[in-house]
Amino acid sequence: MGLNDIRDRIALAETAAGRASGSVQLIAVSKVQPNARVAEVLDQGHRLFGENKVQEAAAKWPDFRDRYEGVSVHLIGPLQSNKARQAMGLFEAIHSLDRPKLAQTLGRLAQEMGHCPDLFIQVNTGEEEQKAGVSPAGTDAFVADCRALDLPVRGLMCIPPVDEAPSLHFALLAKLAARNGLDGLSMGMSSDFEEAVSFGATHVRVGSAIFGERAHN
């Protein structure tokens, strides 16, 4: 597999779902990949990437941004409040807004800095203890709180439990987004992005299917 195959498969999934072509954005998850591999994907013309750690993104992306026009990097992993300021300068979007304290910090920084990346609220659709995210039952209230802070909430994000059918989680996330008037749905990874597209994903996060297996996470 590789970038072009994944693009083709997304296009087919869009058509199969009766969705407009180009309605799904492919986030190439470049975490842990060697810079030479990331450069290959940039050289193929791809410009949207995902990273799960602030430090790793800070080490990798300023240099690539100097060398390539139009790069966009999204944070898809957990964000500590004390790294929020740095993250706001590094990413065009943050997919891991998952708790009130982080919302307050981002709201304060957004006022101070006069800008804020696009935000996706992470929902713990499987209600797993070890996983980040707001509960499905708490999502409506949290969206409202974020809006009251003037935060640019664009959508919802989920990472389904590994041992369950993802479709139930994609359907739930789509339902929660629709009833909150949110268009963005960040869902689907290497193993299930086509299914996510069929449930309305606007952003799929695909790593290993593009870059090959990671040595570690």
**Which residues are at the interface with ligand PLP (CB under 6 A)?**
29, 31, 52, 76-77, 159, 189-190, 205-209
Among residues 49 and 142, whose Cβ is nearest to ligand PLP? 49
Instruction: List 20's β-bridge partners, or say none.
Output: none
Indicate the residue among 149 and 197 with the shorter CB distance to ligand PLP.
Answer: 197
SS3 content of the chain, % helix, strand, coil (to 5): 45, 15, 40
From 207, 172, 158, select the one nearest 29 (Cα to Cα): 207
- Cα separation, 72 vs 167, whole angstroms: 28
Burial string for 35-70 (b: 16+ CB within 10 Å, else e) reads eeebeebbeeebebbbbbbbeebeebbeebeeeeee
Residue 115 CB, shortest distance to ligand PLP, in Å, is: 24
Least gap, CB of 142 to ligand PLP (angstroms): 19
Least distance to ligand PLP, CB of residue 204, Å: 9
What end-to-end distance do the CA atoms of the chain give, in Å? 20
Residue of minimal Cβ distance to ligand PLP: 207
Q: Which is nearer to ligand PLP, 27 or 149 (CB)?
A: 27
In angstroms, give the least distance from the CB of 77 to ligand PLP: 5
Q: Is the Cβ of residue 149 or residue 155 nearer to ligand PLP in the bound state?
A: 155
